[in-house]
């Protein structure tokens, strides 16, 4: 059984979440670190660091040490995890004890990437580390019966990647992982505004546009939004008005790649489990699944029911924390 000193960590490209059985989600902060490039000291981590993106002087740099769900900068990831685990320890009251940690990993990650995650978490102060694949954690967190011999289809759209998996009897039956997620949609919007209006906008502005007027490829009532950026011709601030239709077109290609991954996974499904999918449908988790009209669009395209998990942003973290009771059946790697 889980003890109060077991925690689950969702090591996401966009956010890091820490889950404890006794207190639920105890930490949810952006995966951003601000460092002083001259002294190499960490200036800020999490929410405070995200506020600084695009607003720092030259020698102060905001870094996202996780890319596409894996570690891009080992040392900075370790520092970030130390800060996060220290914050979580204070809230949970085990500052003097090393916790057992379950960490989620992308299903397509290599043994080198898995080892890097284990080492970073161990260096940050963990005692025993278990790994669980992201889609399995998302399915557990969404309340699906992963240990039963029925098909559970999970589409986890994170910041750096999208994982589509069919899970049955505690294991992944079929899975496709692509390096397209919420961050790619933000990048699509930045490029569109630059190309069409000669205006440069930042990551946070692009994210706000996506959340406000971003839509899946389905019919909707057109919405408009005023956006401020820097005119690339004059160098002066400029305000432009964007339409939800043009944003839908800007992110169209990335959304079609996600749909392609879902279709490819469903095509790999064994015939015996296909009937379950028609009955039970597909569950969406991750921040990207909150895009307006995403459920309706996917449901039209794949002809099976699609529904959003109760807490799509927290499903992976909750599942990671609850995974120890399944860990004997889910052998993603216990070290």
Per-residue pLDDT tens digits for 241-251? 999 999 999 99
Q: How confident is the model at residue 333 (pLDDT cuts 50, 70, 90)?
A: very low
Residue 3 predicted with pLDDT over 60 = no
What is the dotted CATH code of the domain comprising 147-180+254-310? 3.30.420.40
111 in a labelled binding site: no
CATH class entry, domain 182-252: alpha beta
Neighbour-count burial of 37, counting CB atoms closer than 10 A to its CB (0-12 exposed, 13-18 middle, 19+ buried)? exposed
| Order of strands, sheet of 306-308, starting from the edge strand that comes earlier in the sequence | 171-178, 162-168, 152-157, 282-285, 306-308
CA distance between the termini of the chain = 18
Residue 166 predicted with pLDDT over 60 = yes
| Structure token digits, residue 235 | 């160098």
**Looking at residue 101, what DSSP letter applies?**
E
| Order of strands, sheet of 237-243, starting from the edge strand that comes earlier in the sequence | 199-200, 224-231, 237-243
Compute the distance between CA of residue 111 and CA of residue 113 in angstroms, rounded to an integer.
Answer: 5
**Closest C-alpha to 192, from 236, 233, 229, 234:** 229
314 in a labelled binding site: no
288 in a labelled binding site: yes
> How confident is the model at residue 71, as a pLDDT?
87
Compute the distance between CA of residue 41 and CA of residue 79 in angstroms, rounded to an integer.
Answer: 10
The alpha-helical segments, DSSP class H, found in 230-293 are 244-250, 252-267, 271-280
**Closest C-alpha to 8, from 91, 132, 193:** 132
209 in a labelled binding site: yes
pTM of the model: 0.89
- Strand ranges inside the chain, DSSP E: 6-11, 15-20, 24-30, 33-36, 42-45, 60-63, 66-67, 70-71, 100-105, 129-133, 152-157, 162-168, 171-178, 199-200, 224-231, 237-243, 282-285, 306-308
Binning the chain into helix, strand and coil, the percentages to the nearest 5 are 40, 30, 35
Residue 4 predicted with pLDDT over 50 = no
Q: Among 66-75, 223-232, 257-266, which stretch is predicted with the lowest mean pLDDT?
A: 66-75
Q: How confident is the model at residue 332 (pLDDT cuts 50, 70, 90)?
A: very low
14 in a labelled binding site: yes
Contact of 163 with 135, CB cutoff 8 Å = yes
62 in a labelled binding site: no
Q: What whole-number percentage of the chain has pLDDT above 90?
A: 55
Fold match flag (6-136+317-326 vs 182-252): no
Contact of 98 with 127, CB cutoff 8 Å = yes
**Looking at residue 215, what DSSP letter applies?**
B
**Closest C-alpha to 278, from 298, 259, 296, 304:** 304
42-76: b or e for each residue (b if 16 or more CB lie within 10 Å)? Answer: bbbbbeebbeebeeeeeeeebbbbbbbbbbebeeb
Residue 115 predicted with pLDDT over 80 = yes
Mean pLDDT, the chain, whole residue set: 89
2 in a labelled binding site: no
The residues pairing with 20 across neighbouring beta strands, listed in sequence order, are: 7, 24
Parse the chain into domains and list their residue ranges: 6-136+317-326, 147-180+254-310, 182-252
207 in a labelled binding site: yes
289 in a labelled binding site: yes
Look-up: residue for tokens 């502005």?
205
What is the dotted CATH code of the domain comprising 6-136+317-326? 3.30.420.40
> How confident is the model at residue 109, as a pLDDT?
82
The residues pairing with 44 across neighbouring beta strands, listed in sequence order, are: 34
Contact of 277 with 304, CB cutoff 8 Å = yes
100 in a labelled binding site: no
143 in a labelled binding site: no
């Amino acid at each position: 059984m889980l003890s109060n000193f077991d925690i689950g960590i969702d090591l996401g490209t966009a956010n890091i979440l820490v889950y404890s059985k006794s207190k639920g989600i105890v930490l949810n902060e952006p995966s951003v670190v601000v460092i002083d490039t001259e002294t190499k000291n960490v200036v800020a981590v999490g929410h405070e660091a995200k506020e600084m993106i695009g607003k720092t002087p030259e020698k102060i740099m905001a870094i996202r040490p996780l890319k596409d769900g894996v570690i891009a900068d080992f040392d900075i990831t370790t520092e970030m995890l130390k800060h996060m685990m220290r914050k979580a320890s204070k809230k949970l009251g085990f500052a003097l004890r090393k916790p057992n940690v379950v960490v989620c990993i992308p299903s397509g990650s290599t043994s080198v990437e898995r080892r890097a995650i284990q080492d970073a978490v161990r260096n940050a102060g963990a005692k025993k580390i278990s790994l669980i694949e992201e889609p399995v954690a998302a399915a557990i967190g969404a309340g699906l019966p992963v240990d039963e011999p029925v098909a559970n289809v999970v589409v986890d759209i994170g910041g750096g990647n999208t994982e589509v998996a069919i899970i049955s009897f505690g294991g992944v039956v079929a899975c496709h992982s692509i390096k397209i997620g919420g961050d790619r949609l933000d990048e699509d919007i930045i490029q569109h505004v630059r190309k069409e209006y000669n205006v440069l906008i930042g990551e946070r502005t692009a994210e706000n546009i996506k959340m406000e007027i971003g839509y899946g490829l389905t019919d909707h009532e057109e919405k408009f939004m005023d956006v401020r950026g820097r005119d690339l011709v004059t160098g002066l601030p400029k305000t432009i008005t964007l339409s939800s239709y043009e944003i839908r077109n800007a992110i169209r290609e990335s959304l079609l790649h996600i749909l392609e991954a879902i279709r490819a996974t469903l095509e790999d499904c064994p015939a015996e489990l296909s009937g379950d999918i028609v009955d039970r449908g597909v569950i969406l988790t991750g921040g990207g699944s909150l895009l307006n009209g995403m459920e309706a669009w996917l449901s039209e395209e794949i002809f099976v029911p699609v529904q959003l998990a109760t807490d799509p942003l927290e499903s992976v973290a909750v599942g990671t924390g609850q995974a120890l009771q399944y860990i004997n059946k889910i052998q993603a790697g216990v070290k």
